[in-house]
A and B are shown apart, each in its own frame.
Chain A
Amino acid sequence: MIPLRQIAHARSGDKGDSANIAVFARDAAHYPWLREHLTAATVQTYFAPLNPGPVTRYEAPNLAALNFILPGVLAGGGSRSLRLDAQGKTLGMALLEMPVPDPETGSPEHTD
Protein backbone atom coordinates (compact mmCIF):
# COMPACT_ATOMS: atom_id res chain seq x y z
CA MET A 1 0.00 0.00 0.00
CA ILE A 2 1.09 3.57 -0.66
CA PRO A 3 -0.25 6.84 0.73
CA LEU A 4 -2.66 8.52 -1.67
CA ARG A 5 -0.37 11.57 -1.82
CA GLN A 6 2.11 9.63 -3.96
CA ILE A 7 -0.34 9.64 -6.84
CA ALA A 8 -2.53 12.64 -5.99
CA HIS A 9 -2.52 16.17 -4.69
CA ALA A 10 -5.43 17.90 -3.00
CA ARG A 11 -6.87 21.04 -1.42
CA SER A 12 -9.67 21.43 1.10
CA GLY A 13 -11.77 24.36 2.28
CA ASP A 14 -15.04 25.27 3.93
CA LYS A 15 -18.49 26.56 3.06
CA GLY A 16 -20.39 27.07 6.28
CA ASP A 17 -20.49 23.74 8.10
CA SER A 18 -19.49 21.77 4.98
CA ALA A 19 -16.07 21.15 3.55
CA ASN A 20 -14.91 20.26 0.08
CA ILE A 21 -11.84 18.25 -0.76
CA ALA A 22 -10.59 18.39 -4.33
CA VAL A 23 -8.27 15.53 -5.30
CA PHE A 24 -6.14 15.62 -8.46
CA ALA A 25 -4.22 12.81 -10.13
CA ARG A 26 -0.57 13.82 -10.31
CA ASP A 27 -0.33 11.85 -13.55
CA ALA A 28 -3.49 11.99 -15.68
CA ALA A 29 -2.91 8.31 -16.49
CA HIS A 30 -3.91 7.51 -12.90
CA TYR A 31 -7.20 9.41 -13.08
CA PRO A 32 -9.31 6.41 -14.19
CA TRP A 33 -7.85 4.43 -11.29
CA LEU A 34 -8.69 7.24 -8.85
CA ARG A 35 -12.19 7.52 -10.26
CA GLU A 36 -12.76 3.82 -9.76
CA HIS A 37 -11.24 3.50 -6.27
CA LEU A 38 -11.72 6.85 -4.55
CA THR A 39 -15.49 6.76 -4.39
CA ALA A 40 -17.91 8.78 -2.29
CA ALA A 41 -18.38 5.65 -0.16
CA THR A 42 -14.63 5.24 0.44
CA VAL A 43 -14.33 8.85 1.52
CA GLN A 44 -17.45 8.57 3.67
CA THR A 45 -15.94 5.61 5.53
CA TYR A 46 -12.51 7.20 5.85
CA PHE A 47 -13.92 10.36 7.45
CA ALA A 48 -16.52 8.54 9.57
CA PRO A 49 -14.75 9.60 12.83
CA LEU A 50 -15.64 13.22 11.94
CA ASN A 51 -19.25 12.24 11.31
CA PRO A 52 -20.01 13.90 7.96
CA GLY A 53 -23.43 13.77 6.32
CA PRO A 54 -23.82 11.95 2.97
CA VAL A 55 -20.70 12.60 0.89
CA THR A 56 -21.19 13.75 -2.72
CA ARG A 57 -18.53 13.29 -5.37
CA TYR A 58 -18.23 15.41 -8.51
CA GLU A 59 -15.95 14.49 -11.39
CA ALA A 60 -13.91 16.91 -13.49
CA PRO A 61 -12.03 14.70 -15.97
CA ASN A 62 -10.61 17.75 -17.77
CA LEU A 63 -8.73 18.58 -14.56
CA ALA A 64 -8.07 14.92 -13.65
CA ALA A 65 -9.98 15.84 -10.50
CA LEU A 66 -12.58 14.54 -8.10
CA ASN A 67 -14.34 16.98 -5.79
CA PHE A 68 -15.85 15.66 -2.57
CA ILE A 69 -18.42 17.56 -0.54
CA LEU A 70 -18.63 16.58 3.12
CA PRO A 71 -21.72 18.22 4.65
CA GLY A 72 -21.74 18.95 8.37
CA VAL A 73 -18.18 17.73 8.84
CA LEU A 74 -16.93 20.82 10.71
CA ALA A 75 -18.96 20.48 13.92
CA GLY A 76 -20.65 23.82 13.30
CA GLY A 77 -18.08 25.40 10.98
CA GLY A 78 -16.44 28.82 10.93
CA SER A 79 -17.03 30.68 14.15
CA ARG A 80 -19.27 28.11 15.84
CA SER A 81 -17.18 24.95 15.83
CA LEU A 82 -15.01 24.27 18.87
CA ARG A 83 -12.50 22.28 16.84
CA LEU A 84 -8.99 23.59 16.28
CA ASP A 85 -9.63 23.09 12.57
CA ALA A 86 -13.03 24.70 12.26
CA GLN A 87 -12.53 25.40 8.56
CA GLY A 88 -11.46 22.05 7.14
CA LYS A 89 -7.94 23.24 6.33
CA THR A 90 -6.48 19.86 7.35
CA LEU A 91 -8.90 17.58 5.53
CA GLY A 92 -7.00 17.52 2.22
CA MET A 93 -3.81 16.53 4.00
CA ALA A 94 -5.75 13.91 6.00
CA LEU A 95 -7.22 12.32 2.87
CA LEU A 96 -3.79 12.23 1.20
CA GLU A 97 -2.60 9.99 4.07
CA MET A 98 -5.14 7.33 3.05
CA PRO A 99 -3.37 4.05 2.25
CA VAL A 100 -4.21 2.85 -1.26
CA PRO A 101 -2.92 -0.02 -3.39
CA ASP A 102 -0.23 1.08 -5.82
CA PRO A 103 -2.02 1.46 -9.18
CA GLU A 104 1.22 0.45 -10.95
CA THR A 105 1.55 -2.91 -9.23
CA GLY A 106 -2.01 -4.13 -9.31
CA SER A 107 -4.90 -4.93 -7.04
CA PRO A 108 -4.91 -4.68 -3.24
CA GLU A 109 -4.97 -8.48 -2.87
CA HIS A 110 -1.47 -8.71 -4.32
CA THR A 111 0.16 -5.90 -2.41
CA ASP A 112 0.83 -4.68 1.09
Chain B
Amino acid sequence: MPRPLMIANASGFWGDQPDAAARLVAARPDLDYLTFDYLAEVSLSIMAAVRAKDPDAGYARDFIETLRSLVTFYQGGGKTRIVTNAGGLDPLACARAGRDVLAAAGLNRLRIAVVTGDNVLPLLRADHPAKCNPIGYTSSGPEGTNLDTGEPVDRVAARLVTANAYLGAAPIAAALRAGADIVITGRTADPSLTVGPCLAHFGWAEDAWDQIAGATVAGHLIECGTQVCGGFSTDWLELPDHHDIGCPIVEVAADGSCVVTKPAGTGGAVTVPTVKEQLLYEIGDPGNYLSPDVTVSFLKLAVTADGENRVRVAGATGRAPTDSYKVSATYRDGYKAHGLLTIYGHDAVKKARAAGEGLLRRLQARGCVFRETLVECLGTGDSVKGLGRRTKEADLIETILRVSVAADRKEPVERFTREIAPLVTCGPQGVTGYATGRPKVLPVFAYWPCLIPKARVAPQWQLLDSP
Protein backbone atom coordinates (compact mmCIF):
# COMPACT_ATOMS: atom_id res chain seq x y z
CA MET B 1 0.00 0.00 0.00
CA PRO B 2 1.71 3.24 -1.09
CA ARG B 3 1.86 5.99 1.53
CA PRO B 4 -0.44 9.00 1.08
CA LEU B 5 0.71 11.70 -1.29
CA MET B 6 1.08 15.09 0.35
CA ILE B 7 0.02 17.91 -1.95
CA ALA B 8 -0.23 21.55 -0.90
CA ASN B 9 -1.58 24.64 -2.59
CA ALA B 10 0.42 27.86 -2.30
CA SER B 11 -1.64 30.08 -4.61
CA GLY B 12 -5.39 30.20 -5.06
CA PHE B 13 -5.39 32.97 -7.65
CA TRP B 14 -3.13 35.39 -9.54
CA GLY B 15 -2.12 37.84 -6.83
CA ASP B 16 -2.27 35.55 -3.79
CA GLN B 17 0.24 35.87 -0.93
CA PRO B 18 3.74 35.93 -2.49
CA ASP B 19 5.62 34.23 0.37
CA ALA B 20 3.18 31.35 0.85
CA ALA B 21 5.32 28.76 -0.94
CA ALA B 22 8.56 29.55 0.89
CA ARG B 23 6.74 29.44 4.21
CA LEU B 24 5.02 26.17 3.35
CA VAL B 25 8.24 24.32 2.51
CA ALA B 26 9.97 25.84 5.55
CA ALA B 27 7.22 24.38 7.74
CA ARG B 28 6.76 21.16 5.77
CA PRO B 29 9.90 20.25 3.77
CA ASP B 30 8.44 16.74 3.42
CA LEU B 31 5.66 17.82 1.05
CA ASP B 32 5.54 15.82 -2.19
CA TYR B 33 3.98 18.57 -4.28
CA LEU B 34 3.23 22.26 -4.32
CA THR B 35 0.45 23.36 -6.64
CA PHE B 36 -0.18 26.94 -7.72
CA ASP B 37 -3.38 28.09 -9.40
CA TYR B 38 -3.16 31.46 -11.15
CA LEU B 39 -6.01 31.37 -13.63
CA ALA B 40 -9.52 32.59 -12.87
CA GLU B 41 -12.13 32.71 -15.63
CA VAL B 42 -10.94 35.94 -17.23
CA SER B 43 -7.27 35.94 -16.16
CA LEU B 44 -6.07 34.96 -19.61
CA SER B 45 -7.70 38.01 -21.16
CA ILE B 46 -5.82 40.21 -18.70
CA MET B 47 -2.63 38.45 -19.80
CA ALA B 48 -3.60 39.03 -23.41
CA ALA B 49 -4.00 42.76 -22.73
CA VAL B 50 -0.62 42.96 -20.98
CA ARG B 51 1.05 40.85 -23.64
CA ALA B 52 -0.17 43.24 -26.34
CA LYS B 53 2.21 45.80 -24.81
CA ASP B 54 4.94 43.39 -23.68
CA PRO B 55 5.33 40.17 -25.70
CA ASP B 56 7.10 38.46 -22.78
CA ALA B 57 4.19 38.96 -20.39
CA GLY B 58 1.86 36.17 -21.49
CA TYR B 59 2.21 34.23 -18.25
CA ALA B 60 2.02 34.79 -14.47
CA ARG B 61 5.38 36.38 -13.79
CA ASP B 62 4.62 36.20 -10.08
CA PHE B 63 5.45 32.52 -10.34
CA ILE B 64 9.02 33.27 -11.40
CA GLU B 65 9.45 35.37 -8.26
CA THR B 66 7.98 32.51 -6.24
CA LEU B 67 10.42 30.08 -7.82
CA ARG B 68 13.24 32.43 -6.87
CA SER B 69 11.98 32.32 -3.28
CA LEU B 70 12.34 28.51 -3.33
CA VAL B 71 15.94 28.45 -4.58
CA THR B 72 17.43 28.12 -1.08
CA PHE B 73 15.08 25.22 -0.34
CA TYR B 74 16.16 23.36 -3.47
CA GLN B 75 19.85 24.17 -2.94
CA GLY B 76 19.45 22.56 0.47
CA GLY B 77 18.25 19.35 -1.18
CA GLY B 78 14.49 20.03 -1.21
CA LYS B 79 12.57 17.47 -3.26
CA THR B 80 9.04 18.92 -3.39
CA ARG B 81 7.80 18.95 -6.97
CA ILE B 82 5.72 21.74 -8.48
CA VAL B 83 2.63 21.73 -10.69
CA THR B 84 1.18 25.05 -11.82
CA ASN B 85 -0.93 26.70 -14.51
CA ALA B 86 1.31 29.80 -14.30
CA GLY B 87 2.09 29.31 -18.00
CA GLY B 88 -1.09 31.19 -18.91
CA LEU B 89 -1.02 32.02 -22.61
CA ASP B 90 2.65 31.18 -22.99
CA PRO B 91 3.77 28.19 -20.89
CA LEU B 92 7.01 27.85 -22.85
CA ALA B 93 8.13 31.42 -22.07
CA CYS B 94 7.22 30.84 -18.43
CA ALA B 95 9.26 27.65 -18.36
CA ARG B 96 12.29 29.33 -19.97
CA ALA B 97 12.14 32.14 -17.41
CA GLY B 98 11.94 29.52 -14.66
CA ARG B 99 14.88 27.63 -16.14
CA ASP B 100 16.97 30.82 -16.10
CA VAL B 101 16.25 31.31 -12.41
CA LEU B 102 17.21 27.73 -11.62
CA ALA B 103 20.33 27.78 -13.82
CA ALA B 104 21.57 30.98 -12.16
CA ALA B 105 21.23 29.19 -8.83
CA GLY B 106 23.11 26.08 -10.01
CA LEU B 107 19.95 24.00 -9.98
CA ASN B 108 20.23 22.43 -13.43
CA ARG B 109 19.24 19.09 -11.89
CA LEU B 110 15.62 20.28 -11.70
CA ARG B 111 13.77 19.38 -14.87
CA ILE B 112 10.93 21.54 -16.15
CA ALA B 113 8.11 20.23 -18.32
CA VAL B 114 5.58 22.24 -20.27
CA VAL B 115 2.00 21.30 -21.13
CA THR B 116 0.52 22.98 -24.21
CA GLY B 117 -2.38 22.50 -26.57
CA ASP B 118 -5.07 24.32 -24.60
CA ASN B 119 -5.26 27.25 -27.02
CA VAL B 120 -8.33 26.70 -29.22
CA LEU B 121 -8.67 30.27 -30.42
CA PRO B 122 -7.92 29.33 -34.06
CA LEU B 123 -10.78 26.81 -33.88
CA LEU B 124 -13.31 29.32 -32.62
CA ARG B 125 -12.22 32.45 -34.44
CA ALA B 126 -13.73 32.64 -37.86
CA ASP B 127 -13.16 35.71 -40.00
CA HIS B 128 -15.73 34.45 -42.47
CA PRO B 129 -18.40 32.85 -40.35
CA ALA B 130 -20.39 31.50 -43.29
CA LYS B 131 -17.51 29.42 -44.63
CA CYS B 132 -15.64 26.45 -43.31
CA ASN B 133 -12.13 27.21 -42.17
CA PRO B 134 -9.20 25.01 -43.29
CA ILE B 135 -9.69 22.40 -40.58
CA GLY B 136 -13.26 21.88 -41.58
CA TYR B 137 -14.86 23.52 -38.60
CA THR B 138 -17.99 25.50 -39.33
CA SER B 139 -18.43 28.33 -36.90
CA SER B 140 -22.20 28.21 -37.22
CA GLY B 141 -22.22 24.68 -35.78
CA PRO B 142 -23.08 23.92 -32.19
CA GLU B 143 -19.41 24.03 -31.15
CA GLY B 144 -18.62 27.24 -29.39
CA THR B 145 -22.26 27.85 -28.45
CA ASN B 146 -22.41 29.87 -25.23
CA LEU B 147 -23.17 27.45 -22.41
CA ASP B 148 -25.12 30.07 -20.46
CA THR B 149 -27.06 31.89 -23.15
CA GLY B 150 -27.20 29.40 -26.02
CA GLU B 151 -25.96 32.05 -28.46
CA PRO B 152 -23.78 30.93 -31.40
CA VAL B 153 -20.10 31.93 -31.31
CA ASP B 154 -20.47 33.81 -34.62
CA ARG B 155 -21.80 36.72 -32.65
CA VAL B 156 -18.41 37.34 -31.02
CA ALA B 157 -15.97 35.34 -33.17
CA ALA B 158 -14.30 38.42 -34.63
CA ARG B 159 -13.84 39.95 -31.18
CA LEU B 160 -12.45 36.87 -29.42
CA VAL B 161 -9.24 37.55 -27.50
CA THR B 162 -8.57 34.19 -25.86
CA ALA B 163 -10.11 30.73 -26.04
CA ASN B 164 -8.54 28.00 -23.94
CA ALA B 165 -9.72 24.50 -23.18
CA TYR B 166 -9.50 23.26 -19.62
CA LEU B 167 -7.08 20.37 -20.15
CA GLY B 168 -6.98 17.41 -17.79
CA ALA B 169 -4.45 15.60 -15.65
CA ALA B 170 -3.08 13.12 -18.21
CA PRO B 171 -0.31 15.30 -19.74
CA ILE B 172 0.78 16.43 -16.26
CA ALA B 173 1.00 12.82 -15.09
CA ALA B 174 2.97 11.82 -18.21
CA ALA B 175 5.48 14.64 -17.65
CA LEU B 176 5.90 13.66 -14.00
CA ARG B 177 6.43 10.01 -14.92
CA ALA B 178 9.14 11.14 -17.33
CA GLY B 179 10.93 12.73 -14.40
CA ALA B 180 9.79 16.35 -14.43
CA ASP B 181 10.28 18.23 -11.16
CA ILE B 182 8.27 21.24 -12.26
CA VAL B 183 5.27 21.08 -14.60
CA ILE B 184 4.05 24.34 -16.11
CA THR B 185 0.72 24.36 -17.92
CA GLY B 186 -1.57 26.87 -19.54
CA ARG B 187 -5.31 26.51 -18.96
CA THR B 188 -5.88 23.29 -17.02
CA ALA B 189 -8.87 22.34 -14.91
CA ASP B 190 -7.93 23.47 -11.39
CA PRO B 191 -8.36 20.05 -9.70
CA SER B 192 -6.25 18.39 -12.43
CA LEU B 193 -3.16 20.10 -10.97
CA THR B 194 -3.68 17.70 -8.04
CA VAL B 195 -5.01 14.73 -10.01
CA GLY B 196 -1.87 14.68 -12.23
CA PRO B 197 0.51 13.90 -9.35
CA CYS B 198 -1.94 11.28 -8.01
CA LEU B 199 -2.11 9.50 -11.37
CA ALA B 200 1.69 9.48 -11.61
CA HIS B 201 2.16 8.31 -8.03
CA PHE B 202 -0.54 5.69 -7.60
CA GLY B 203 -0.59 4.28 -11.11
CA TRP B 204 -4.38 3.97 -11.09
CA ALA B 205 -6.05 2.32 -14.04
CA GLU B 206 -7.46 4.74 -16.60
CA ASP B 207 -10.98 3.82 -15.54
CA ALA B 208 -10.39 3.86 -11.78
CA TRP B 209 -13.15 6.47 -11.70
CA ASP B 210 -13.78 6.43 -7.95
CA GLN B 211 -10.11 7.00 -7.14
CA ILE B 212 -9.76 9.70 -9.79
CA ALA B 213 -12.97 11.26 -8.45
CA GLY B 214 -11.45 11.30 -4.95
CA ALA B 215 -8.29 13.00 -6.19
CA THR B 216 -10.47 15.51 -8.06
CA VAL B 217 -12.32 16.32 -4.84
CA ALA B 218 -8.96 16.75 -3.08
CA GLY B 219 -7.78 19.09 -5.83
CA HIS B 220 -11.02 21.05 -5.75
CA LEU B 221 -10.70 21.48 -1.98
CA ILE B 222 -7.23 23.08 -2.16
CA GLU B 223 -7.51 24.99 -5.45
CA CYS B 224 -8.54 28.21 -3.70
CA GLY B 225 -5.67 28.11 -1.22
CA THR B 226 -6.54 29.31 2.27
CA GLN B 227 -10.29 29.22 1.61
CA VAL B 228 -10.52 25.65 2.89
CA CYS B 229 -8.59 26.58 6.05
CA GLY B 230 -11.14 29.13 7.19
CA GLY B 231 -10.56 31.92 4.71
CA PHE B 232 -13.88 33.29 3.38
CA SER B 233 -15.78 31.15 5.89
CA THR B 234 -19.06 32.22 7.49
CA ASP B 235 -17.51 32.12 10.97
CA TRP B 236 -14.20 33.75 9.98
CA LEU B 237 -14.25 36.12 12.96
CA GLU B 238 -14.13 33.20 15.40
CA LEU B 239 -11.06 31.61 13.78
CA PRO B 240 -7.80 31.48 15.71
CA ASP B 241 -5.06 33.74 14.30
CA HIS B 242 -6.99 34.73 11.19
CA HIS B 243 -4.19 37.19 10.36
CA ASP B 244 -2.05 34.22 9.30
CA ILE B 245 -4.25 31.47 7.86
CA GLY B 246 -2.23 28.43 6.76
CA CYS B 247 -2.13 27.06 3.23
CA PRO B 248 -3.94 23.74 2.73
CA ILE B 249 -2.37 20.31 2.40
CA VAL B 250 -4.22 17.21 1.21
CA GLU B 251 -2.90 13.78 2.10
CA VAL B 252 -4.34 11.67 -0.70
CA ALA B 253 -4.56 7.93 -0.05
CA ALA B 254 -4.35 5.15 -2.63
CA ASP B 255 -8.14 4.75 -2.58
CA GLY B 256 -8.60 8.42 -3.52
CA SER B 257 -9.82 9.52 -0.11
CA CYS B 258 -7.95 12.37 1.54
CA VAL B 259 -7.29 14.23 4.74
CA VAL B 260 -7.26 18.02 4.53
CA THR B 261 -4.87 19.74 6.91
CA LYS B 262 -2.49 22.70 7.22
CA PRO B 263 0.99 23.27 8.67
CA ALA B 264 1.28 23.34 12.47
CA GLY B 265 1.61 26.81 13.93
CA THR B 266 -0.46 28.54 11.26
CA GLY B 267 -3.73 30.34 11.83
CA GLY B 268 -7.23 29.58 10.67
CA ALA B 269 -8.80 26.15 11.11
CA VAL B 270 -9.55 23.07 9.07
CA THR B 271 -12.94 21.94 10.34
CA VAL B 272 -15.92 20.06 8.95
CA PRO B 273 -17.72 23.38 8.23
CA THR B 274 -14.74 25.01 6.46
CA VAL B 275 -14.24 21.92 4.32
CA LYS B 276 -17.94 21.60 3.49
CA GLU B 277 -18.15 25.24 2.46
CA GLN B 278 -15.22 24.84 0.08
CA LEU B 279 -16.56 21.54 -1.23
CA LEU B 280 -19.58 23.30 -2.73
CA TYR B 281 -17.77 26.52 -3.65
CA GLU B 282 -18.53 27.48 -7.26
CA ILE B 283 -20.23 24.15 -7.87
CA GLY B 284 -23.39 23.43 -9.84
CA ASP B 285 -25.03 20.03 -9.41
CA PRO B 286 -23.11 18.23 -6.64
CA GLY B 287 -24.14 14.93 -8.20
CA ASN B 288 -22.49 15.84 -11.52
CA TYR B 289 -19.25 17.72 -11.06
CA LEU B 290 -17.70 17.76 -14.52
CA SER B 291 -13.95 17.69 -14.91
CA PRO B 292 -11.98 16.67 -17.99
CA ASP B 293 -10.70 13.66 -16.01
CA VAL B 294 -13.90 12.28 -14.51
CA THR B 295 -17.51 13.11 -13.69
CA VAL B 296 -17.79 13.18 -9.90
CA SER B 297 -20.69 12.74 -7.51
CA PHE B 298 -20.30 14.38 -4.10
CA LEU B 299 -23.50 12.77 -2.86
CA LYS B 300 -21.87 9.87 -1.01
CA LEU B 301 -19.00 11.86 0.43
CA ALA B 302 -18.39 11.57 4.15
CA VAL B 303 -16.70 14.60 5.70
CA THR B 304 -15.49 13.79 9.21
CA ALA B 305 -13.13 15.22 11.82
CA ASP B 306 -9.86 13.30 12.08
CA GLY B 307 -8.04 15.17 14.84
CA GLU B 308 -7.17 18.83 15.31
CA ASN B 309 -7.13 20.68 11.99
CA ARG B 310 -7.57 17.41 10.14
CA VAL B 311 -10.71 16.54 8.18
CA ARG B 312 -11.16 13.30 6.29
CA VAL B 313 -13.07 13.32 3.00
CA ALA B 314 -13.96 9.88 1.64
CA GLY B 315 -16.53 8.24 -0.58
CA ALA B 316 -16.24 10.16 -3.85
CA THR B 317 -17.80 8.27 -6.74
CA GLY B 318 -16.86 8.80 -10.34
CA ARG B 319 -17.77 7.82 -13.85
CA ALA B 320 -16.26 8.39 -17.27
CA PRO B 321 -15.86 12.06 -18.18
CA THR B 322 -17.76 13.68 -21.05
CA ASP B 323 -16.24 13.77 -24.53
CA SER B 324 -15.88 17.57 -24.46
CA TYR B 325 -13.51 20.03 -22.88
CA LYS B 326 -14.93 23.16 -21.34
CA VAL B 327 -13.51 26.25 -23.01
CA SER B 328 -13.05 29.59 -21.33
CA ALA B 329 -13.15 32.21 -24.06
CA THR B 330 -13.10 35.98 -23.74
CA TYR B 331 -14.01 38.69 -26.20
CA ARG B 332 -13.64 42.46 -26.37
CA ASP B 333 -16.80 44.18 -25.28
CA GLY B 334 -16.23 47.93 -25.02
CA TYR B 335 -14.98 49.89 -22.05
CA LYS B 336 -15.94 50.69 -18.49
CA ALA B 337 -14.82 52.80 -15.55
CA HIS B 338 -15.71 53.17 -11.90
CA GLY B 339 -15.32 56.37 -9.88
CA LEU B 340 -15.35 56.66 -6.08
CA LEU B 341 -15.94 59.64 -3.78
CA THR B 342 -16.69 59.75 -0.07
CA ILE B 343 -19.54 61.93 1.18
CA TYR B 344 -19.76 62.82 4.87
CA GLY B 345 -22.43 64.82 6.70
CA HIS B 346 -26.17 64.95 7.30
CA ASP B 347 -28.21 63.39 4.48
CA ALA B 348 -24.96 61.88 3.18
CA VAL B 349 -26.74 59.16 1.18
CA LYS B 350 -29.30 61.53 -0.37
CA LYS B 351 -26.50 63.85 -1.39
CA ALA B 352 -24.38 61.02 -2.76
CA ARG B 353 -27.21 59.70 -4.93
CA ALA B 354 -28.04 63.19 -6.15
CA ALA B 355 -24.39 63.87 -6.97
CA GLY B 356 -23.97 60.54 -8.80
CA GLU B 357 -27.16 60.86 -10.79
CA GLY B 358 -26.41 64.51 -11.50
CA LEU B 359 -23.01 63.59 -12.85
CA LEU B 360 -24.53 61.09 -15.27
CA ARG B 361 -27.15 63.63 -16.32
CA ARG B 362 -24.48 66.22 -17.04
CA LEU B 363 -22.51 63.74 -19.15
CA GLN B 364 -25.59 62.69 -21.10
CA ALA B 365 -26.40 66.35 -21.73
CA ARG B 366 -22.89 66.70 -23.21
CA GLY B 367 -23.64 63.90 -25.67
CA CYS B 368 -22.05 60.94 -23.92
CA VAL B 369 -23.86 57.68 -24.73
CA PHE B 370 -23.48 54.84 -22.27
CA ARG B 371 -24.94 51.37 -22.68
CA GLU B 372 -25.09 50.96 -18.92
CA THR B 373 -24.65 53.12 -15.82
CA LEU B 374 -24.81 52.38 -12.10
CA VAL B 375 -24.87 54.51 -8.95
CA GLU B 376 -24.08 52.69 -5.69
CA CYS B 377 -23.85 54.16 -2.19
CA LEU B 378 -21.55 51.90 -0.23
CA GLY B 379 -22.39 51.41 3.41
CA THR B 380 -26.11 51.19 2.71
CA GLY B 381 -26.04 47.56 1.58
CA ASP B 382 -25.85 48.43 -2.11
CA SER B 383 -23.49 45.50 -2.79
CA VAL B 384 -26.72 43.50 -2.83
CA LYS B 385 -29.09 46.33 -3.65
CA GLY B 386 -32.54 45.90 -2.16
CA LEU B 387 -31.59 43.07 0.23
CA GLY B 388 -30.52 42.58 3.79
CA ARG B 389 -30.61 46.27 4.70
CA ARG B 390 -30.45 46.95 8.43
CA THR B 391 -30.07 50.70 8.81
CA LYS B 392 -32.11 53.59 7.50
CA GLU B 393 -30.21 55.66 4.97
CA ALA B 394 -30.96 58.76 7.04
CA ASP B 395 -28.98 57.26 9.93
CA LEU B 396 -25.77 57.06 7.93
CA ILE B 397 -23.40 59.97 8.44
CA GLU B 398 -21.09 58.76 5.67
CA THR B 399 -21.20 56.83 2.42
CA ILE B 400 -18.92 56.07 -0.50
CA LEU B 401 -20.45 57.06 -3.81
CA ARG B 402 -19.48 54.64 -6.56
CA VAL B 403 -20.50 55.58 -10.09
CA SER B 404 -19.89 53.21 -13.00
CA VAL B 405 -20.37 53.52 -16.74
CA ALA B 406 -19.91 51.20 -19.71
CA ALA B 407 -19.95 52.01 -23.41
CA ASP B 408 -19.04 50.37 -26.67
CA ARG B 409 -16.74 53.27 -27.49
CA LYS B 410 -13.86 54.53 -25.38
CA GLU B 411 -14.51 58.28 -25.64
CA PRO B 412 -17.58 58.64 -23.39
CA VAL B 413 -15.93 56.47 -20.74
CA GLU B 414 -12.81 58.61 -20.89
CA ARG B 415 -14.90 61.74 -20.51
CA PHE B 416 -16.58 60.21 -17.44
CA THR B 417 -13.20 59.69 -15.76
CA ARG B 418 -12.55 63.45 -16.04
CA GLU B 419 -15.86 64.41 -14.47
CA ILE B 420 -15.47 62.77 -11.03
CA ALA B 421 -13.03 65.28 -9.55
CA PRO B 422 -15.15 68.33 -10.42
CA LEU B 423 -17.72 67.05 -7.88
CA VAL B 424 -15.31 68.28 -5.22
CA THR B 425 -16.21 71.85 -6.06
CA CYS B 426 -19.67 71.48 -7.63
CA GLY B 427 -20.93 68.67 -5.38
CA PRO B 428 -22.20 68.71 -1.80
CA GLN B 429 -20.11 69.89 1.13
CA GLY B 430 -18.29 67.01 2.82
CA VAL B 431 -17.00 65.38 -0.38
CA THR B 432 -13.59 63.86 0.21
CA GLY B 433 -11.45 60.86 -0.72
CA TYR B 434 -10.52 62.05 -4.20
CA ALA B 435 -6.75 61.88 -3.72
CA THR B 436 -6.32 58.63 -5.64
CA GLY B 437 -6.70 60.48 -8.92
CA ARG B 438 -8.73 59.88 -12.02
CA PRO B 439 -10.30 56.46 -12.47
CA LYS B 440 -8.83 54.21 -15.18
CA VAL B 441 -10.63 53.36 -18.39
CA LEU B 442 -10.81 49.56 -18.38
CA PRO B 443 -11.26 47.46 -21.50
CA VAL B 444 -14.05 44.94 -20.95
CA PHE B 445 -13.18 41.34 -21.72
CA ALA B 446 -16.45 39.50 -21.51
CA TYR B 447 -16.64 35.80 -20.76
CA TRP B 448 -17.83 33.20 -23.26
CA PRO B 449 -18.01 29.69 -21.80
CA CYS B 450 -18.45 26.90 -24.34
CA LEU B 451 -17.54 23.30 -25.13
CA ILE B 452 -15.24 21.74 -27.70
CA PRO B 453 -15.04 18.02 -28.56
CA LYS B 454 -11.95 16.42 -27.04
CA ALA B 455 -11.16 14.92 -30.44
CA ARG B 456 -10.40 18.41 -31.77
CA VAL B 457 -7.87 19.24 -29.07
CA ALA B 458 -4.36 17.77 -28.81
CA PRO B 459 -2.80 18.21 -25.36
CA GLN B 460 0.99 17.91 -25.49
CA TRP B 461 3.85 17.92 -23.03
CA GLN B 462 7.60 18.21 -23.37
CA LEU B 463 10.62 18.33 -21.11
CA LEU B 464 12.52 21.56 -21.53
CA ASP B 465 16.14 21.15 -22.64
CA SER B 466 18.88 22.32 -20.30
CA PRO B 467 20.09 25.86 -21.00
Contacts and interface: CB of A to CB of B under 8 A. Distances in A.
Interface in A52-99: 58, 60-63, 65, 67, 69, 71-72, 76-80, 82-85, 90-94, 96-98
A90 B235 contact: no
B42 A65 contact: no
A13 B284 CA distance: 11
Given A49-B387, A82-B406, A14 B277 contact: no
B285 A58 contact: yes
A80 B444 contact: yes
A38 to B, nearest CB: 15
Contact of A20 (B147, B280, B447, B449): B280
A11 B232 contact: yes
B53 interface: no
A100 B209 CA distance: 41
A58 B277 contact: no
B277 A62 contact: no
A50 interface: yes
Contact of B384 (A11, A65, A91): A91
Contacts of B384: 49-50, 85, 90-91, 94
B378 interface: yes
A63 B299 CA distance: 8
Interface string B226-256: 0000001111000000000000000000000
Contacts of A61: 299
Contacts of B338: 82
A10 B236 CA distance: 12
B234 A5 contact: yes
Interface string B423-467: 000000000000000000010111101000000000000000000
Given A10-B277, A67-B280, A58 B286 contact: yes
Nearest to A8: B234
B402 interface: yes
B18 to A, nearest CB: 22
Interface residues of B, number: 57
Contact of B283 (A22, A82, A90, A92): A22
Q: What is the predominant secondary structure among interface residues of chain A facing chain B?
A: mixed
B280 A63 contact: yes
A18 interface: yes
A62 B333 contact: no
A31 interface: no
Which of A16, A76, A94, A96 has the most CB atoms of chain B within a 10 A radius of its CB?
A: A16
Contact of B374 (A9, A72, A83): A83
A96 B273 CA distance: 15
Interface in A7-51: 9-11, 13-18, 20, 22, 24, 26, 46-50
Interface in B274-331: 276-287, 298-303, 315, 330
A65 B234 contact: no
B273 A24 contact: yes
Contacts of A49: 384-387
B45 interface: yes
Given A11-B232, A13-B281, A60-B286, A83 B387 contact: no
B372 interface: yes
Contacts of A5: 234
A44 to B, nearest CB: 13
Contacts of B390: 97
Given A80-B446, A85-B383, A11 B301 contact: no
A98 B384 CA distance: 13
A9 B277 contact: yes
25 contacts: A10-B234, A11-B281, A13-B281, A14-B282, A15-B41, A15-B284, A17-B148, A47-B387, A50-B386, A58-B285, A62-B301, A63-B303, A65-B276, A67-B283, A67-B284, A78-B446, A79-B45, A80-B336, A80-B447, A83-B374, A83-B376, A84-B383, A85-B383, A93-B388, A97-B390
Given A5-B234, A15-B282, A58-B287, 19 more contacts: A9-B233, A11-B233, A11-B277, A16-B147, A18-B148, A24-B276, A62-B302, A62-B315, A65-B286, A67-B284, A67-B285, A80-B333, A80-B406, A80-B447, A82-B372, A82-B404, A94-B388, A96-B234, A97-B390
Interface of B: 40-42, 45, 147-148, 232-235, 273, 276-287, 298-303, 315, 330, 333, 336, 338, 372-374, 376, 378, 382-388, 390, 402, 404-406, 442, 444-447, 449
Name the 7 nearest CB pairs between A and B, nearest first. A49-B386, A22-B280, A9-B234, A13-B282, A82-B404, A97-B388, A11-B277
